[in-house]
Amino acid sequence: MTRLVTALSLLFVTATSFAEEPAGSPATPEPLQVFDAATFDDDGFELPYRLMAPKPTDDDEKRPLLVFLHGFGERGDDNRRQLDHGGSLFASADFRDRHRAFVLMPQCPAGNKPDSDEPVVWSMKLRPTSVTVPLGIDQPPSKPMHAVRALVDRLIETLPIDTDRLYVAGLSMGGYGTWEMAAREPEFWAAAAPICGGGNPEWGERLKDLPLWAFHGDADNAVPVERSREMIAAINAAGGRAIYTEYPGEGHGSWNPTFASRQVWDWMFAQHR
């Protein structure tokens, strides 16, 4: 069973109803062939990234951009590992034919912050399983997040990107990053899709007008399902209409059923600012 929660209702539907049409077979060609590798220098901070361009067409229309943030296990500097989850989906012929989008997959560096035992991550602070509240949104973003946002501006300047169709999504550590990036500039993004992440419920008011669909497994032992539940509750209490899908019995791999759903990506790419 898959649980879909909106501001208005609690609806139980089967998982297969979200994947009536599978999101596509494994990528042909391989993601490494479709995603070009590069490095972005953000005032001395080096951010490896992969960028997939849409398939060429005869028209000159601008195309949407999806920014996808990977999880903690994909940190590094090989500029490959961030494609492990999602790369095959986005590179698939089905996805590329259906959405004709640019897809940006940056890679967060590994290691710890200088003079600290705190790891480098997308978000300001990964919220532990406690009552600890993350830092306020008025604090500066992490260096990796700042670099991602600066890179998005660079891509907008140099590529035919539709600025009314900018999307952010991510899983686990990238789910936290998605919540924060969306909360920092809710007017910049057309939609957001955080997967098994979390944020600060105080951001509910900021996020109430942003189309948002969150996902989590209720058996997640890495990021407690309460992190998503409380964010959705805060947004909808502020008057928003955020969508929430909770997968009963699913652990920390809730990105797998999410990737398998055409409905998720059709919804996202249908959103405009």
Domain residue ranges of the chain, discontinuous segments joined by +: 2-269
Q: Is the pLDDT of residue 241 over 50?
A: yes
Residue written as tokens 């990964």?
Answer: 126
| For range 118-132, the mean pLDDT | 70
Give residue-wise pLDDT tens across range 78-108.
999 999 999 999 999 999 999 999 999 999 9
Q: What is the chain's alpha carbon radius of gyration, rounded to the nearest angstrom?
A: 17
pLDDT band at 118 (very low <50, low <70, confident <90, very high): confident
H-type helices in the chain, by residue range?
31-34, 87-91, 93-99, 143-158, 173-184, 204-207, 226-237, 255-259, 262-269
Question: Which CATH architecture best describes the domain 2-269?
Answer: 3-Layer(aba) Sandwich (3.40)
Distance CA 91, CA 83 (A): 10
Residue written as tokens 């596509």?
Answer: 24
DSSP lists the bridge partners of residue 46 as 41
Q: Is the pLDDT of residue 8 over 70?
A: no
Task: Label residue 11 exposed, middle or buried (CB < 10 Å: 0-12, 13-18, 19+).
Answer: exposed
* 183-202 core/surface letters (b: 16 or more CB in 10 A; e: else): bbebeebbbbbbbbbbbbbe
